[in-house]
Structure 1
Amino acid sequence: MANITLGGNPIQTVGNLPQAGTKAPDFKLTATDLSDKSLSDFEGSRLVLNIFPSIDTGTCAQSVRTFNEKASALENTKVLCISKDLPFAMARFCGAEGLDNVTNLSDYKTGDFGKSYGLTIANSALETLLSRCIVVIDTDGTILHTEQVGEIADEPNYEAALNALS
């Protein structure tokens, strides 16, 4: 279990992120059109999984904006923004912001993604939400880079995630 903080107060996740060099666990998430998406739907593309608690917080919204901006310059790379938000909220946010270089996916139905990736928050006011993490996956499904952000209110290290793709 990862030890992280929320406003400086210690909290934990249900496990640890998968290690770089291992195969990414498969997932079943819900897209904004309510269709199911799995890892195989993105086969052949490099992936940046931008994982966060809720699109309705400033830091989460900023991470989506930042990756949307940077994604347009990345070759054969898709940015998947993943939370437990309802797909409607994620579509509303990206529509209002004019963000179209990211794919929004939700773990709201089962929470299995958060459990299999070890990043569901185990305690605190945010219990059952997803912690702030980045997972970078190569075209063959191998994990290149992970980051469990230590303080939930902090932004991820965008450059480290993008550098893992070079």
Structure 2
Amino acid sequence: MANVTLGGTPVETTGNLPKVGDKAPKFKLTGTDLEDKTNDDFNGYRLILNVFPSVDTGTCAQSIRTFNEKASGLENTKVLCISKDLPFAMGRFCGAEGIENVVSLSDYKTGNFGKDYGLTFKTGAFETLLSRCIVVIDTDGTVLYTEQVSEIADEPNYDSALKSLA
């Protein structure tokens, strides 16, 4: 399990992120249209999984804005913004912010995404929510890059994630 902090207080996750070079675990998440979305819906695309606790926090909202801006210039790449927020909240936020270059997905139904990727909080105030992580996946499903942000309030390293696609 990964050890990260929330405001300096240690918290644990249920496991560890997939390793670079591994095949990414399959997933089934819910889109803002309330339809199921799986890895297969994104076949042939490189994926940046921008995972976070809740769109209702400043750092999470900023990560969506930043990836929305950067995603517009990425070829053959989809940015998937994933949390346990209800699809309605994600849709409302993206609509209000004019965010159109990312795909919002929710793990609220089963929590299996967080378990399979080893990034669900096991302890602390955010217990059962998803920790802040970036996972970059190639078109063949191979993990190219991962980042488990060590302090939940911090933003991920956008540049390193994007460089993994070069």
TM-score (norm 2): 1.00
Other-structure match for 1:147: 147
Cα distance in 2 between the residues matched to 1:143 and 1:52? 18
What is the Cα-based RMSD across aligned positions, in Å? 0.3
Cα distance in 1 between the residues matched to 2:5 and 2:124? 10
Instruction: State how 1:104-115 maps to structure 2 within 5 Å.
Output: 104-115=104-115
Other-structure match for 1:60: 60
Whether 1:137 and 2:137 are equivalent positions in the alignment is: yes
Q: Which amino acid aligns with 2:20?
A: A
Instruction: State how 1:35-74 maps to structure 2 within 5 Å.
Output: 35-74=35-74
Cα distance in 2 between the residues matched to 1:125 and 1:48? 27
Q: CA deviation at 1:85?
A: 0.1
Q: CA deviation at 1:52?
A: 0.0
Cα distance in 1 between the residues matched to 2:141 and 2:29? 17
Cα distance in 2 between the residues matched to 1:145 and 1:43? 18
Cα distance in 1 between the residues matched to 2:8 and 2:125? 13
Deviations 1:68-91 (A, max 9, x none): 000000000000000000000000
Cα distance in 2 between the residues matched to 1:12 and 1:39? 27
Deviations 1:103-138 (A, max 9, x none): 000000000000000000001110000000000000
Other-structure match for 2:23: 23
- Aligned pair count reads 166
Other-structure match for 1:101: 101
Deviations 1:11-40 (A, max 9, x none): 000000000000000000000000000011
Q: Which amino acid aligns with 1:158?
A: Y
TM-score (norm 1): 1.00
Q: Which amino acid aligns with 1:45?
A: Y
Cα distance in 2 between the residues matched to 1:116 and 1:46? 19
Q: What is the SS of the residue equivalent to 1:62?
A: helix
Cα distance in 2 between the residues matched to 1:69 and 1:22? 28
Same amino acid, percent of matched pairs = 75
Other-structure match for 2:164: 164
Q: Which amino acid aligns with 2:144?
A: L
Q: Which amino acid aligns with 2:127?
A: E
Segments ≥4 residues shifted beyond 2 Å: none
Q: Which amino acid aligns with 2:98?
A: G
Q: CA deviation at 1:7?
A: 0.1
Cα distance in 1 between the residues matched to 2:139 and 2:28? 18
Cα distance in 1 between the residues matched to 2:39 and 2:118? 17
